[in-house]
Structure formats: C-alpha cells, structure tokens
Structure 1
Amino acid sequence: MGQILSSRTNAVLTLELSNPGKANALDFAMLAALDEHIAQIGEDDTIRAVVLRGTAGGAFSSGADIREWSALDPQAFATQWIGEGNAVFRRFERLRCPTVAVIEGLCFGGGLELALCCDLRLAGAGARLRFPEVAIGAIPGWEGGDRLQRIAGRGRALEAVLLSREIDPTTALQWGVVNAVCAPQDIETQLQEWTTRLCAISPRAAALAKSLIVDDDKDPHAAYPAAALAVRISPDAELGIRAFFAKTSAIF
C-alpha cells in the first residue's frame, strides 16, 4: 500500500509519492491521501505553493497500480477507480495555490496524468514520460490525453497515446509538456527559484488568474469581470499599487 509523505518549508508544502517496490504506482490509499491533502491545503491559506514529486533522484510514478485496478469488476473500475479518481485529480488541478511537479525518472500512465494536473512541471534529464495504456487494452482514464491535448495539441496527444510514444525531456520541453529541463544536480536550485517566486506573488491574484486558465466551464463574459473585481477590492491590490508607485517590491 502506497502513501504520500508530506513536509513543509515555510510556505511551500511538498508531497512525495511513495510506494516502494512499485516505482510509486498509484493505488486507492494514495488517491485517498492526496484528497486529504487537498482538503487541508484548502483550509490553510499560509500554504503558498505545493510541490509534487516522486522519490528524489528516482521514479515520479510508474502509473496506476495494475494489480489494484485489475482486481475490480468492470463497473467498480469505471465508477470507483476512474470516476472517483478523476474527481480527486480535478480537485488537485483546481487548488487555489500554484503547484509544481518535479519529474526525475519514470512518469508513466496515471503518474503522467497526475503530473499534467500541476501548473508547472520541472523535468530532470533522466525523466521518461509515456502513456502505455493502449498496449495493454486500457486507456488513459484520468483525463491525461485531454490535458495533454490542451498543452501540446491534438496531433501530439494522439501520437503519444496511440503509439505509446515515450516522450524524452527534450521533446517534452519542445511540446510544452514540461517548463524546464535540468541536470540532476541543478533540479533543487531551479525548484527553489520557482517556489521562491511563487511565494512572493500575490496569493489572491495567483488564485484568480489560475482559475481563469484552469476552469474550462467558465463563462468568460462573467468570469473575467468578477475576478477583476475580486482582486481589485482585495488588500493585495492596494499593496501592489502602492509598491508600484513607490518603485519597490510588494510584500504579500
């Protein structure tokens, strides 16, 4: 049974996928643990950024635990594993604070689907991204193909899914699937730079700006004026405007 280990440094919460012996394959226990963390983050405004990673220097996740889901009857698989899993992934994708996936090794199947729920992705030079599902008579059921399509385009998403193509870090960067690729020794430095920046920006503005990008169901005619009003009447706007005219950096 896997687990998600958590640690915190100042305003940054790190969640580590941990399922030793299975390359951090995702199981029901890990989905439940992720959902618990989502709820806790929602109640703690002092968390300004979330880092999701696998074993340091090793696998992010080899995918969904096939021994777990293959034991389910088809209806339970569809409703519990896929339906409930997607609900957790959507809640994670829509967290108010920015999220960063650190991908250093294997990132296959459901693991890649989870990484695609993050706002930013940092890959190590040894990262390996792939959707292998169709080769075993399955599909990327946690909406990974659709998320990849929105990032990289339909043609590339179909190529990745139908050919089970492994996407190397260079290609992932060209496709926009990852935001940066680092040598192993540089990953922590790059991650620190990102999280420092994410913790310095306005948390209210970040949450609203993110929601306008992530929420595909919004009515843009209503959503943008509402978000603009919400941030404009917030204390963050006053701080930012004062800092701008004072030619200083706002401290949120």
Structure 2
Amino acid sequence: MGHILSRREDAVLVLELSNPGKANALDFAMLAALDEQIAQINRDDGIRAVVLRGTPGGVFSSGADIREWSALSPETFATQWVGEGNAVFRRFERLRCPTVAVIEGLCFGGGLELALCCDLRLAGTGARLRFPEVSIGAIPGWEGGDRLQRIAGRGRALEAVLLSQEIDASTALQWGIVNAFCAPQEVEAQLQEWTARLCRVSPRAAALAKALIVDDHDDPHAAYTSAALAVRSSPDAELGIRAFFAKTAAVF
C-alpha cells in the first residue's frame, strides 16, 4: 500500500508520492490520501503553494498500480478506479493555490496524468515521460490524453498516446509539457526559486487567475467580470496598488 508523505516548508506544502516497492505506483490508498491533502489545503489559507514530487532524485511514479486495478471487475474499474480517481484529480487540478510537479525520473501512465494536473512542471534531465496504456490494452483513463492535448496540441497527444512514445526532458520542454528542465544538482535551487516567487504574489489574485484558466466557463464574459469584481474588491488589490505607486514591493 502506498502513501503520500507531506511536510510543510513555511508557506509551501510538499507532497511526496511513496510506494517504494512499486516505483511509486498509484493505488486506492494514495488516491484517498491525496484527497485528504486537498481538503487540508482548502482549509488552510497559510498554504500558498503545493509541490508534488516522487522520490527526490528518482522515480516520480510508474503509473496506476496494475495489480490493484486488474483485480477489479470492469464495472468497479470504470466507476471507482477511473470515475472516482478522476474526481480526485479534478479537485487537485482546481486547488486555489499554485501547484508544481517535480519530475526527476520515470513518470509513466497515471503518474504522468497526475503531473499534468499541476500548474507548473519542473523536470530533471533524467525525466522520462510516457503513456504505455494502449500497449497493454488499456487507456489513459484519468484524462491525461485530454490534458496533454490542451497543453501540447491534438497531434502531439495522439502521438504520445497511440505510439506509447517515451518523451525525454528536452522533448517535453519543446512540446510544452514541462516549463523547464535542469541538471539534477540544480533541481532544488530552481524549485526554491519558483516556490519563493509563487509565495510572493497575491494569493487572491493567483487563485482567481488560475480559476479563469483551469475551470470551464459557460459564459466567459460573466466569469471574467465576476473575477474582476472579486479581485478589485479585495484587500490585496489595495495593497498592491499602494505599493505600485510607492515604488515598493507589495507584501501579501
């Protein structure tokens, strides 16, 4: 049974996938643990950014635990494994605060689908990304193909899914799947730079700006009008405007 280890670093919550005997494969216990972390984050406004990573310096996740899901009936697999798993992933994707995935090694299948739920992705040069599902008679059921399509385009998503093609860090950057990649010894410094910057911005503005990008809107005009009213009415707006005219950095 896997776990999600958590630790707080000031305003940053670090979540570490941990299923050592199975290369951090995702199982029911880890999905439940992730959902618990989502609830905690939503209760704690002091969390300004979330980092999701696998074993530091090693594997992110080998994907969904095939031994767990292969034992399920087709109906249970569809409704619980895929359906409920997707509900957890969507809640994680729509967290109010920014999220960063750190991918340093193997990141396959469901692990890649989870990483694609994050707002930013930082890769080490040893990162290996792949959707192997169709090669074993399965599909990327946690909406990974659709998320990849929105990031990299339909052609790239179909190439990755249908050919089960492994993608290295350089190609992932070219496709837009990761925002940056760096040498293993530079990952922690780059991560700290990103999280420091994320923790300096207005949390209210960041949450609203993220929602406008991530959420589906039946009426975009209404969504932007509502968000504009909310952010302009917030104390963060007044603080930011005063700092701008005083030529100082706003401290939110």
TM range (shorter): over 0.9
Query: Per the alignment, in what secondary structure is the counterpart of residue 102 of structure 2?
Result: strand
- Superposed displacement of residue 167, structure 1: 0.7
Residue number in structure 1 paired with 2:113? 113
How far apart are the structure 2 equivalents of 1:216 and 1:152? 18
**2:63 alignment partner, SS class:** coil
Between the aligned partners of 1:85 and 1:65, the Cα distance in structure 2 is 13
**Superposition pairs of residues 36-115 of structure 1, within 5 angstroms:** 36-115=36-115
Please state how far the C-alpha of 1:221 moved relative to its aligned partner: 1.2
In 1: Cα distance, 2:221 partner to 2:90 partner: 23
**Aligned mates of 2:166, 2:218 — CA distance in 1:** 34
Q: Which residue of 2 aligns with 1:139?
A: 139
List 4+ stretches of structure 1 deviating above 3 A: none
Aligned length: 252
- Give the superposition deviation at 1:216: 2.0
1:1-252 matches, cutoff 5 A: 1-252=1-252
Q: Output the CA distance in 2 between the equivalents of 1:82 and 1:222.
A: 32
Partners of 1:102 and 1:171 in 2: how far apart?
A: 16
Residue 21 of structure 2: SS of its match in structure 1?
coil
Secondary structure, counterpart of 1:21 in structure 2:
helix
Inter-partner Cα distance in structure 2 for 1:217 and 1:54 = 33
Task: Give the gaps of 5 or more residues in structure 2.
Answer: none
RMSD (CA atoms): 0.5
SS state at 1:209 partner: helix
Tell me by how many angstroms 1:217 deviates: 3.5
Structure 1 residues 182-224: Cα deviation after superposition (integer angstroms, max 9, x where no partner): 1000000000000000000000000000000001244201000
1:128 & 1:117 partners in 2: Cα distance? 17
Distance 2:34 2:43 in 1: 15
| Secondary structure in 1 matching 2:123 | strand
- The DSSP-based 3-state class of the residue aligned with 2:22 is coil
TM-score, normalised to structure 1, is 0.99
Shift of 1:104: 0.4
Instruction: Please give the secondary structure, in 2, of the residue aligned with 1:60.
Output: coil
Gap runs ≥5 in structure 1 = none
> 1 CA distance for matches of 2:218 and 2:6?
32
Once the two structures are superposed, residues 110-162 of structure 1 have per-residue CA deviations (whole angstroms, 9 ceiling, x without a partner) of 00000000000000000000000000000000000000000000000000000
Contact 2:217/2:223 (<8 A) preserved: no
Identity %: 86
Residues 53-111 of structure 1, C-alpha deviations (whole Å, 9 max, x = no match): 00011100000000000000000000000000000000000000000000000100000
